[in-house]
Amino acid sequence: MAKAFKNRSPVVTPVSDVEQVPGSDKQRLFHLVRLVMLGQGYFRKRMEKCRSPVFRVNMGVKGVAICDRKAIDAMFDVKVIRKEPAFGRLNYNLILLDNYVPSIFTNDTPHERQKAFLMKICQTAQEAQILPTTQRVVTQYLERWGKADANLKQDWENDVRAMLSDIFTEAFLGVSVNPTLMYNMVKGSWAKPGSKLFKTADDAARLLREFLKEALQKSTKLQSLLSTAVDAGVTEEQALADILFMLNFNAYGGVSGALIGCLARLTVTDPKYKDAMRHEVISAVDKDGVTHESLNQMNRLHWFVLENLRMCPPVPLFFGRARNDFILHSSRGSFDIKADELLVGNVYEIHRDPNVFVNPEVFMPSRFEDGVQRNKLLEYMLPGNGPIKESPTASNHQCPGLDITFTVLKTALMYVVTCCDFSLTRIPIWTGKKLRRIGSPDNIVQLLSFKYSPRRPLVHRNSLQIDDLEEKHNYLENSSTFQKH
C-alpha cells in the first residue's frame, strides 16, 4: 500500500499584525512538475516549508493557497470573491454550452437568477423523482453487474457513470441519454481547442443540447420550470445551459466519482462496520420501506458517506479571485490579499486538520457517532462549495444538489450493502497524488466478481426490468442521443 503523506500541522506563532503571504510563486515549471508528481502533496510540502496554512503557489497561474478553515470562509463570501469560468489554469470550454456561462462561474445578479432556477429544479426532483428513479435504475444495474462478462467487469467504472447518467437524466428530464455522449463531453471540459478530444466533446455537447431542447418541449413539468426561469430573468437558452452543465459536470462527473470511491471503499471497510450498516438498513426498511424517512434512520450509512466525502471531497479545490484588496484572517495570522489575486481553497487539507480530525488519514466513519463531536466535525466539512451545514441560497455558491447527492449515494449503497457481494481486481488505494481521480482511488476500479441477491422489501424481483435495460443500452449505443421512457 502506498505510503500516506505526513500530516503535520505547521508550527507558527500567531501574530496580530498583517503579514505578507509567504512563499515564492516563481519558477512556474518547477511548481507544475511538483504538482503533477505530488498532487495534494504539493500543497502539504509547501505548507510545511512556509510554516503557514496560507501560502503562495503556482499551478500554471499564480495564486494564494488556503488550507485553513477560518480563512477559507472568505472564499464563500460573494462580496469578497468573484468567480470565473476556470479551475486555476484550466479554463472550462464554454463553447460546449454554446458560450453560455453556468451558475457555478457567474456572479451578482446573473448568478442569483440562475441559482434560484437550479434550486427550484433540484427541489422538485428531490421531492418527487430522485428516490424512486434511483431505486429503479440501481436495481436494474445491479442485476446487470451480477451477469457481467469480462468486458463489463473491466469497464465497470464507466458503467457506474452510465448508471448515474440514467438516474439524473431520467429524474430531471424523464429520458435517458447516451452515456457515451456524457463521457465525451465531460472529458473535453478543458481540452485544448482544436484537439481531437475537444472536437469529440464539442460534437457530444451539440447533440446533448439538441436533445435537451427536444426533451424540454415534450415535458410540461420542465416547460413550467423554464417559464419560471424566464420570469426570473433567465433566458431559456441560459437555463438549458445550466441544466446541461449540472447533469454533465456536476452529476455525471462529480457524483459518479464519489460513488465509485464509496463502492471501492466498501471492499476495504471493517467487516464489523459493514455488518452494522447492513443490519441498520434492513431494520429501517423492514419497518417503513424505502422512503426519505427510512434513509434518515440509516445513521451508519450516512456516516460512511460523510467519511468518504471527508477523505475524498468531490470539490477538493475551490477557486476565486479577490474583488478588492482585503485582509485574510486565518487561525494562524492575518494576510494581505491584493485585488484580482487568485485564491485556491484546499478542502482536501482542511478535511485532514489533525487538530480537528483524530487520525485524519485513517478511514473511520465511527468518528461521527457522538452527536456533540459530530457537530464540531461538520463545521469543518466543505463538500459542496460551502460548509455542509449551510443551506444553498440564490446568493451563495453552495451546491443546490447537495441533498440529492446524499439521496443518490445512500440509496445506491443501501442496495449494495444489503444485496451484493463483490470484489475488485486490485486493492484500492488513495494517495492524493492523482488530482484528476477526484473521489475515486488512484487505480482504475475493475470488478473481479459480483453477486447480486435481491432482498425483500428492498427489491421485488418481478418488478425488475433487466431485459429493458439491456435493450436500452443496445438502443443508446446505436442512437445518437436518447430514448424516451
In a domain, 11, yes or no: no
In a domain, 325, yes or no: yes
Asked whether residue 371 carries a pLDDT value surpassing 50, the answer given is yes
Which domain covers residue 251, as residue numbers?
Answer: 18-475
- The verdict on whether residue 399 carries a ligand-binding annotation is yes
Asked whether residue 460 carries a pLDDT value surpassing 70, the answer given is no
In a domain, 234, yes or no: yes
pLDDT value, residue 32: 93
Model confidence pLDDT, tens digit, residues 236-264: 999 999 999 999 999 999 999 999 999 99
In a domain, 165, yes or no: yes
In a domain, 483, yes or no: no
Mean pLDDT, residues 390-402 = 93
Number of domains in the chain: 1
Asked whether residue 461 carries a pLDDT value surpassing 80, the answer given is no
In a domain, 13, yes or no: no
Q: Which helix (H) or strand (E) holds 263?
A: helix 256-266
What distance in Å separates the CA atoms of residue 14 and residue 71, rounded to the nearest whole number? 14
End-to-end CA distance of the chain: 45
With DSSP H G I counted as helix, E B as strand and the rest as coil, what are the percentages for the chain, rounded to 5? 55, 10, 35
The DSSP letter of residue 270 is -
Asked whether residue 55 carries a pLDDT value surpassing 90, the answer given is yes
Helix pair angle (108-128, 220-231), 10° resolution: 160
pLDDT value, residue 288: 79
In a domain, 3, yes or no: no
Q: Which residues contact 329 (CB under 8 A, 6 or more apart)?
A: 70, 71, 74
Model confidence pLDDT, tens digit, residues 215-228: 877 877 778 778 87
In a domain, 42, yes or no: yes
pLDDT value, residue 477: 56
Query: Is 146 or 468 the better-scoring residue by pLDDT?
Result: 146
Asked whether residue 13 carries a pLDDT value surpassing 70, the answer given is no
Mean pLDDT, residues 276-285 = 95
Mean pLDDT, residues 75-91 = 94
CATH number of the domain encompassing residue 237: 1.10.630.10
- The cell for 393 is 441560497
